[in-house]
Amino acid sequence: MNLSKIAVEEHMAPAGTLDQAADRFEPEAWRKLSNALMDIHGQLLSDMDASDVEMSVLSLNSPGIQSITDRKKAVEVAKRSNDVLAEQVAKNPKRFQAFAAVPMQDPEAASRELVRCVKELGFRGVLVNGFSQIDTEDSAVYYDRPQFWDFWATVESLDVPFYLHPREVLPSQMTFLEDHPWLGNSTWAFTVDTATHALMLMSSGIFDKYPKLNVILGHLGETLPFLMWRVDNRLRKTPKGCPAKRPLNDYFQNNFYLTTSGQFCTQSLLNSIAWIGTDRVLFSVDYPFEKVSDATNWFDNLKATNTISEADWVKLARGNAEKLLKLGAAKQTAASV
């Protein structure tokens, strides 16, 4: 068996976080998804074997910690979830690694938890599910604010990537969804919110202060490869006090990585590669919301049809992930345990 690929946006859900996403699905669909979220060593592993995926990097299902309004509880649930994630990885570290979940409701605690996860549990980075609700349900706090800058310093000093993953938006944020519920969640609202959040980070000056920060976006960059030219073109004409020192695309092309999670579209991939280069695109599935075989059939076909070169395909399939997530080191650690 030639296990050729590494997937980095694959989700699981320990008890205590599982029912958060139930509202997004019909009951029968949710029953299957919630079983799949718990069945890492069964369903996910057999799907990986069948589709030549060597490793999945696991993360907590969205919204995970970010919708817990109580700060103390957010800190506790993050710790518990990371311990469960670590247990899952320890059962089969050659096939599974993990991203930490962190309580951004308390930035100092988030920094401490990230240090613990990276240094003690061997996690490969951190995945945060969009903005955090803090103290009240109707609050959406984004991470360009000053209280998070020490957290960004921690991420940079640990030299691990920060995966900005979508979450459901609040009704007050997108009032059009009231009349158009079919445009909510992963169909469209996730993308609008996550792309906006990424632009907030780029325009904040965070990357001027912490130039080695690496941020990962799923879904081939949440539309941004298509739009960065226009964003900078308009921003140059109407800067309105934007604090960033450089055009935002400079940060996009130097501090961001994109994954193919849930976006198995050749035209979009080619546009993303044209914009950001083959060193910054990583294969992913988005288990269990997408079928592993849907992702891999599409992705393997890119090589078979010479749509992208063999060398580039290998970078996307695994090389870029191995480098960014230092997976060689992870395998050595796994071997020595």
Binding site for Mn ion (CB under 5 A): 9, 286
CB closer to Mn ion out of 13 and 201: 13
CA 116, CA 293: separation in Å to the nearest integer? 34
CB closer to Mn ion out of 9 and 312: 9
Which DSSP helix (H) or strand (E) runs through 202? helix 189-204
Reduced to 3 states (helix: H, G, I; strand: E, B; else coil), residue 326 is coil
286 is catalytic: yes
The nearest distance, CB 59 to Mn ion, in angstroms, is 8
The nearest distance, CB 127 to Mn ion, in angstroms, is 9
Asked, as a colleague might, if the bond just before 27 is cis with ω within 30 of 0, I would say: no
CB closer to Mn ion out of 47 and 286: 286
CA 67, CA 261: separation in Å to the nearest integer? 22
CB closer to Mn ion out of 105 and 129: 129
Reduced to 3 states (helix: H, G, I; strand: E, B; else coil), residue 168 is coil
CB closer to Mn ion out of 9 and 322: 9
How far from 178 is each of 76, 172, 183, CA to CA, in Å? 33, 10, 10
Which residue has its beta carbon closest to Mn ion? Answer: 286
The nearest distance, CB 211 to Mn ion, in angstroms, is 28
Q: CB–CB of 17/67 below 8 Å?
A: no
How far from 18 is each of 61, 71, 105, 247, CA to CA, in Å? 8, 19, 20, 40
The nearest distance, CB 100 to Mn ion, in angstroms, is 16
Could you tell me if residue 97 is left (phi over 0), alpha (psi between -120 and 50 degrees) or otherwise beta?
beta
CA 55, CA 277: separation in Å to the nearest integer? 23
The nearest distance, CB 219 to Mn ion, in angstroms, is 8
CB closer to Mn ion out of 102 and 231: 102
Instruction: From the candidates 286, 294, 300, 312, give the one annotated as an active-site residue.
Output: 286
| Angle separating helix axes 292-304 and 266-276, nearest 10 degrees | 70
The sign of the torsion formed by the CA atoms of 64, 52, 275, 312 equals positive
Residues classed as catalytic? 286
